[in-house]
Chain A
Amino acid sequence: MKKLILILLCCVVFIISCRKVEVEPTPPPKVEDIFSVKEASIGNGEQFKFTLKSEGVYTLTLFDSVGQQVVTRERIIGKIGENSLKLYTKSLPVRYLYLSLEDKNSVQIGKTLLIIN
């Protein structure tokens, strides 16, 4: 009986340890290029894409659509062609934000209104 219990215990441990880890897939972007539309709705953890003609340092800025206050800015290394970023919305203070892309000379390349879901 003791052996039986031991075997069962081992089986349980084995089954648990072999359970596949659930990885939440990244939702596919809703639009091909976020800057090709005037506005886009986006949820927490969703990806967005944009296209660059040259590689280099770029900045992405989120700013309030009403007061024009910058809430966050991220420096990225862009590559030629399609680039993708994942947006996290949990810490963002408002629902309507402009997303702006600027190159290293602070020239705006794209801008769109994000509606946070």
Chain B
Amino acid sequence: MRNLLIFLFLLITNLGFGQSVSAPDSKSFLPSTVAQDASGFSLSGFGSTETLLASISLVNPPTGTTFYLNTTTGLTAASGFTLIGNKTRLVVTGTMASINTALTSLKVNTGATIGNVQLSVAATVNPVGFFYNGVNGHFYKPITATVDRTTYTNARARSLLTTFKGQTGYLVTITSTSEEEFIRVNVPATNVWFAATDEVIDGRWVIDAGPEKGTVMKTQNGQLNGNIPGVYNNWCGGEPNGANGSENYAVAKWNGAACWNDLSNNWNNPYVIEYGTWANPDDATFTEFYTNSVTHTNGDVLTARFNIDFGSNVDETKFSVKANTFVNNLWGTTTNTSRALSGLGKVDITSDLDTTKISDGKRATISAGQVEYSYVNISNGTTTLYIDLRVFDSTQPSDVKLVSILDVYSGPVTYQQTSTYWAHYIVPSTLTKVTNGTSIYVANIRNSGYDNWAFSCQIGFSNNGIFKQHGIDLSYTNQTDLNTLYNSIVSVSDVYLAFKELSNGGIFGNQSGLEFTSGIQYMNADVDGNGIFNETDTYKLLQHLIGVQPINEYSTLTYLMKLYGKSEYDAITKSNWNAQFNYTRSLYPFTLNTGVLNNSYNVSVTWRGDVNLSHSAQQTPPVIAGSSIKNMSVKTMSTTVSNQIYAFIMTEIIGDSVTAYIKIDPLQQELVGTQFKLNYDNSLLKFSSVSYKTKGSPTNYGTDKGDYINFGSLITDGGTLDNTTEYKISFKPQTKLNNVLGLISISFTDAVNKNGNTLKVKMK
């Protein structure tokens, strides 16, 4: 046993466990500034002694953007790279510790070009016998042993039979100078087969494998004859010559030279297998190859990406959004561009945003200088910024809305007052770089005592433009599907508990109702959206349930559905539920002018009419994702056995009638409400009637919804449903039926007891 544990420990140690690359949060860089901190990437889960291969890259960076590593101890640059200097891509090998140390020293230099600065880090255990090309993100395996050397056609075929990290291999292609150089440096052999041939038409050379297979390289033999512009050719002088009429296959490193020749297929040569079909290393899909990235921005780059949680039973691809702008308290012109949501609820509307700025006061830029024109007081938990009144000229201190202080802070400020010599502003954060010495302008910052830190600086003012406020319109591509979804949300438990809540005093005034406990259900309880929860809402819920008045008949999508950010959702309470939001607003605004420009929103969706008591209520603390529609799904198939009742179904074809019987056994429960959804095949059956066998005076209901019957009972007078309760649902066949199965089935059940607890209905 002990040996087994040791073995397992060693196995885990050697294999590594849970390898990953973590990325920092996104941030905004200052334009035209060198050595800006870009740390925050970290590798984890790899074995401490393993040699790793890591790639650091900038993905399509704005002109002038580069990065470098301040610390490279223990690292070796991969082929074609050097450790020193500014880069857009760097591939290194080293241990996890040495790579992580280097990543903490990652710095970015920005140019004047504004844009997204996407940094990507990839890592894997450095595979023996393979070489990684950081330019295209492909692996290469040289086959050079004498016994493995073979003909071109064999090399081409054998390559295709190999796989590496989930990728099928192919005979190497050489499509650029850098790839040629990579092969030259890393393959210790000469006359290396690569995938180029003119075997179909003599002199017409084509790439013979990989993603570029079929690409014509040249149309005539001869070093430069017929070379296709833009397609890489690197033939030796006088080659290809098609000698003997059989030289149809290409080799690189011909006799050790850095150029190509054509040879016959009777040569046994070394070759190289290439793995990877993408052009961009950041698109790599190797297995056990771990990547992560972060998109920073250089300057003010406006982006808006949404992660909308619809829950598991909603098809997000049926939704789309449009961007709108909000200026001077008015919603402006929409872009009229609908962006479809992906199946993961993600949508990026960046390209629809209005990036025209509007005037919004002044920006003060405090840059390094010789005179202490400005200082901050960080005492009393409030950071106050003081700017010397002499520097303002015609600028009014109260007009300053934004400030940039060295590399210490950049963002909005609140004007407080003007004293004898200073204009005072509240800076909404603790300026850590002032005191911890990490500012690159630390020589310009002086501790003048009493938590006052003075800046040797100069100050300039410029007009401040801000981006317009934006909002999104959410649309549904199929209202019928939406209605069907909505119809499945309200259940008998909701109605019963809404009645109960109302009888307890509702959610206004001195409410003693205990049913609406947390989160969004306060708003959802207001079914008709008039800002009041009252008997009208419970009545409409009941109407909806029994099919007399589907709520969606007098509702729009907006009316049915709400988007909330997590912080907004968590802020909803009993006392403020009806004042939180304008419930008639058709747009969902989001803020782009708070200093955060690279916006990514996590949004939850909730549905009006779901009073959220029976199947989606979340007790404190409210959890946004759990309170969304995800928990509103049909629960028929749950295996929970507590709070359970039984129901029995039997169907029969007798004469010209098809009948389903559902009998109830409440077991020990004080059953007050039931609801069933009975599907039927409407191409073969036509609904006739529902009849009820119930004691007391419940509200029995049964409505035909076209392809299912919604039926059940609800008692609100203190009585209960007992084991004599039975429902009989009859259909008339459209054609003669016998010996059939499956025309009718139960797809949803719901029940509630006197205490308002949802009961599981076990279909027996």
Give residues in A with beta carbon < 8 Å to B: 59-60, 62-64, 66-76, 83-94
Quote the shortest CB–CB distance from B382 to chain A (angstroms): 58
Q: Which of B638, B651, B745 has the most CB of A within 10 A?
A: B745
Q: Which DSSP category, helix, strand, loop or mixed, fits chain A's interface?
A: strand
Q: Contacts of B638 on A, CB cut-off 8 Å?
A: 67
Given the complex of chains A and B, what is the CA–CA distance between A90 and B679 in angstroms?
A: 9
The answer, yes or no, to whether B650 is at the interface (CB within 8 Å) is yes
7 chain-A/chain-B pairs, Cβ below 8 angstroms: A67-B637, A67-B639, A71-B746, A72-B649, A72-B741, A72-B742, A93-B745
Q: Please, which residue of chain B has its CB at the minimum distance from the CB of A89? A: B742
Q: Which 3 A-B pairs have the closest CB atoms?
A: A67-B637, A93-B747, A91-B679
B649 touches A88 (CB 8 A): no
The answer, yes or no, to whether B693 is at the interface (CB within 8 Å) is no
B649 touches A70 (CB 8 A): yes
Q: Contacts of A67 on B, CB cut-off 8 Å?
A: 636-639
A88 touches B684 (CB 8 A): yes
- A91 touching B639 in the complex, CB below 8 Å, given contacts A70-B763, A85-B739, A85-B741: no
Q: Please, which residue of chain B has its CB at the minimum distance from the CB of A64? A: B637
Given the complex of chains A and B, what is the CA–CA distance between A60 and B743 in angstroms?
A: 13
- A87 touching B742 in the complex, CB below 8 Å, given contacts A93-B679, A93-B747: yes
B745 touches A92 (CB 8 A): yes
Given the complex of chains A and B, what is the CA–CA distance between A95 and B708 in angstroms?
A: 18
The answer, yes or no, to whether B681 is at the interface (CB within 8 Å) is yes
A69 touches B763 (CB 8 A): yes
Given the complex of chains A and B, what is the CA–CA distance between A66 and B740 in angstroms?
A: 24
* Choice from A68, A70, A87, A89 contacting B639 with Cβ under 8 Å: A68
Over the window 651-690 of chain B, the binary record of Cβ atoms lying under 8 Å from chain A Cβ atoms (1 yes, 0 no) is: 1100000000000000000000000000111011000000
Q: Quick one: which of B715-764 are within 8 Å of A by CB?
A: 739-748, 762-764
B680 touches A60 (CB 8 A): no
B649 touches A73 (CB 8 A): yes
Q: Contacts of A69 on B, CB cut-off 8 Å?
A: 636-637, 746, 762-763
Q: Contacts of B637 on A, CB cut-off 8 Å?
A: 64, 66-67, 69, 94
Give residues in B with beta carbon < 8 Å to A: 634, 636-639, 648-652, 679-681, 683-684, 707-708, 739-748, 762-764
A66 touches B742 (CB 8 A): no
A72 touches B651 (CB 8 A): yes
Q: Contacts of A59 on B, CB cut-off 8 Å?
A: 650
A62 touches B652 (CB 8 A): no
* Choice from A63, A66, A86, A94 contacting B741 with Cβ under 8 Å: A86
A60 touches B681 (CB 8 A): no
Given A75-B652, A88-B743, output 14 extra A-B contacts at Cβ < 8 Å. Answer: A59-B650, A60-B741, A66-B639, A70-B746, A72-B744, A73-B649, A74-B652, A83-B739, A85-B739, A87-B742, A91-B681, A91-B742, A93-B634, A93-B746
- A62 touching B741 in the complex, CB below 8 Å, given contacts A67-B637, A74-B652, A90-B683: yes
Q: Contacts of B742 on A, CB cut-off 8 Å?
A: 62, 72, 87-92
Quote the shortest CB–CB distance from A44 to chain B (angstroms): 8
Quote the shortest CB–CB distance from B622 to chain A (angstroms): 28
* Choice from A71, A91, A94 contacting B680 with Cβ under 8 Å: A91
Given the complex of chains A and B, what is the CA–CA distance between A100 and B762 in angstroms?
A: 17
Given the complex of chains A and B, what is the CA–CA distance between A75 and B637 in angstroms?
A: 23
Given the complex of chains A and B, what is the CA–CA distance between A91 and B748 in angstroms?
A: 12
- A70 touching B681 in the complex, CB below 8 Å, given contacts A91-B707, A91-B742: no
Given the complex of chains A and B, what is the CA–CA distance between A60 and B742 in angstroms?
A: 10
Q: Which of A63, A75, A91 has the most CB of B within 10 A?
A: A91
A75 touches B739 (CB 8 A): no
Quote the shortest CB–CB distance from B705 to chain A (angstroms): 12
Q: Contacts of A75 on B, CB cut-off 8 Å?
A: 650-652
B747 touches A71 (CB 8 A): yes
Q: Please, which residue of chain B has its CB at the minimum distance from the CB of A59? A: B650
Quote the shortest CB–CB distance from A50 to chain B (angstroms): 11
Given the complex of chains A and B, what is the CA–CA distance between A91 and B683 in angstroms?
A: 10
Quote the shortest CB–CB distance from B26 to chain A (angstroms): 41
Given the complex of chains A and B, what is the CA–CA distance between A81 and B708 in angstroms?
A: 36
Quote the shortest CB–CB distance from A39 to chain B (angstroms): 17
